[in-house]
Amino acid sequence: SGLRYDVQYVRNFTDVDDKIIARAAERGEPPLELASRFIVEFHQDMHALGCLPPTLEPRATDYIQEMVETIERIIANGHAYTVEGGDVYFEVTTLPGYGSLSGRGQEDNRAGERVAVDGRKRGSSDFALWKAVKPGEISWPSPWGPGRPGWHIECSAMIHKVMGPVIDIHGGGRDLVFPHHENEIAQARAANGPSCCGVPHGASDPHTS
């Protein structure tokens, strides 16, 4: 017999990122149309496998404003910064305990191993929260100029909007423990303030302006 828990199961779709934009450009197809087509095919596969549908299936592009607001909170709490050109980066050294999920220390994060080195970043491990628009790319308005969210921020923002500040279980592939899930935790802690991030924000905080 089942445990009869009332479960809210949410499965999100990333419908804009670097790979989707690149593939859409190759095919001469709008990125959101490409993503929608693959979502339909994914649903067909899940039905064929006999998988039950989730309670909700939010798409990243429906929550751009929530992502912008989350980034603004992270900046206000002293854990992110803007650079010339309109990009926004998370500063990992400002967050105590970063790396605790994956067991990686700062010394394990080698510059240029996963993404190209960007000389505008304060630290080689800092990751993008907002990416400024490039010619021909899809974009949305933001306080930092037109652009689109980084990959990691979408989950933190959607979870908070759809399910609230605390969830019971976060699923995902083992290959995503670092950097994706590690960065999701960092963003959520940084956005929710001192009780979560471990940094006392106030008059004595050098990151507070």
The pLDDT tens digits of the residues spanning 133-161 come to: 999 999 999 999 999 999 999 999 999 99
Question: Does position 117 have pLDDT exceeding 90, yes or no?
Answer: no
The pLDDT tens digits of the residues spanning 41-82 come to: 999 999 999 999 999 999 999 999 999 999 999 999 999 999
Q: What are phi and psi of 171, to 5 degrees?
A: -95, 165
Six-digit token string for 147: 């652009």
What integer is the mean pLDDT of 3-11? 90
Six-digit token string for 112: 């240029």
| Radius of gyration, CA atoms only, the chain | 18
Question: Does position 111 have pLDDT exceeding 70, yes or no?
Answer: no
Higher pLDDT, 145 or 205: 145
Strand 127-132 relative to strand 147-149, pairing: antiparallel
Question: Does position 103 have pLDDT exceeding 70, yes or no?
Answer: yes
pLDDT-derived band of residue 16, with 50, 70 and 90 as boundaries? Answer: very high
The pLDDT tens digits of the residues spanning 163-202 come to: 988 889 998 899 999 999 999 999 999 998 764 555 654 4
Higher pLDDT, 107 or 101: 101
The C-alpha atoms of residue 164 and residue 143 are separated, in whole angstroms, by: 25
- Report the predicted TM-score, pTM, of the whole model to 2 decimal places: 0.86
